[in-house]
Amino acid sequence: MEVEVALGEHELIFVTDGYYALKVNINVTGSSVECLSAEYGEFNETTKEFTKKGDASCDACATKENGVCITNFDIHGYLKPVEEVVTPPPAGYTTCDWVNSAGKGNLVWAHVLALLYKYQGLDNLAESQRLSIPENIRPSQFPDTVEWKDVLGTLYYYQTLYSLGDAQIGCGWASLSLAMRLSRELSQIQQSRIQHKSLIEKILNELKEGG
C-alpha cells in the first residue's frame, strides 16, 4: 500500500487480522523519513482508538519482526502475531484428594478396597465400593490415575501409619499428625501451668489465713 504524506510528523497505524496493530510516529523531511517511536497493541476499528501492549522496533529491517523498517522513503511495517491464549487444563483429581475427602482418622475400609478394585480394572466393583462410603466422607470421583502406590498409601493411612503413607503418596498426614500432637502437648502444658498456679495460690492463701 502506498500513502503520500506531507512534510512533518505523522502517526501511522498498520492493521491486519491475526496480528497486533503497529503504531508508528514518523518525521518526514525533504531528505529522509525518521522513525520517532513504534508501539504494538490493539486497534478498535469503530472508535479508532489504539491501546498499547508494548514497544516495537524503529529498526526492524534485519529481524522483520514487530517493528518498522524505513529505507529511503519506503516504510515497511512488520506486525506481531496475536498470542494464542492457552487455557490450562483443570487440575486433576489426585489420591490426596481421595483421602482428604474423608480427612485424617476418618478413612474406612471401602476407601482402600475401592482403589484396589480400580487399580485392578474392576470398575463396577470399584464404583460399588465408592458408593458404599458414607456420603459425608465419600470422594466425588476416583483419582485420574490409580497406581499400586496409591492403593498402598491409602492402606497405610487407613491403618494410621502416616509416615509410611506419606512415603507412598505424600499427602502430608505425618506432618499433620506431628502438628496436632505438638498442639495437644502445648495445651496440656498450659493447662498444667494453670493448675500449678492455682495450687500455689491456694497454698499461699492458706498460709496467710494461718499466719
Indicate the pLDDT class of residue 92, thresholds 50, 70 and 90.
Answer: confident
Indicate the pLDDT class of residue 206, thresholds 50, 70 and 90.
Answer: low
Indicate the pLDDT class of residue 124, thresholds 50, 70 and 90.
Answer: very high
Average pLDDT, the chain: 84
Grid cell digits, residue 65: 519482526
Cα–Cα separations (whole angstroms), residue 170 to 32, 152, 173: 68, 12, 8
Please give the distance of CA 82 from its chain centroid, rounded to a whole number: 24
State if pTM tops 0.75: no
- Give the pLDDT confidence of 137-150 residue by residue, as tens digits: 999 999 999 999 99
Task: Report d(CA 118, CA 143) in Å as an integer.
Answer: 9
47 phi/psi in degrees, rounded to 5? -90, -10
- Give the pLDDT confidence of 14-68 residue by residue, as tens digits: 999 999 999 999 999 888 889 999 999 999 989 999 999 999 999 999 999 999 9
pLDDT, residue 31, reads 86
Task: Report d(CA 182, CA 155) in Å as an integer.
Answer: 25
Q: Which of 141, 108, 137 is nearest to 126 (CA)?
A: 141
Indicate the pLDDT class of residue 7, thresholds 50, 70 and 90.
Answer: confident
pLDDT, residue 136, reads 94
SS (H, E, C) 102-168: CCCCCCCHHHHHHHHHHHCCCHHHHHHHHHHCCHHHCCCCCCCCCCHHHHHHHHHHHCCCHHHHHHH
E strand or H helix at 179:
helix 173-210
Task: Report d(CA 15, CA 167) in Å as an integer.
Answer: 57
- Please say whether the beta carbons of 102 and 89 come within 8 A: no
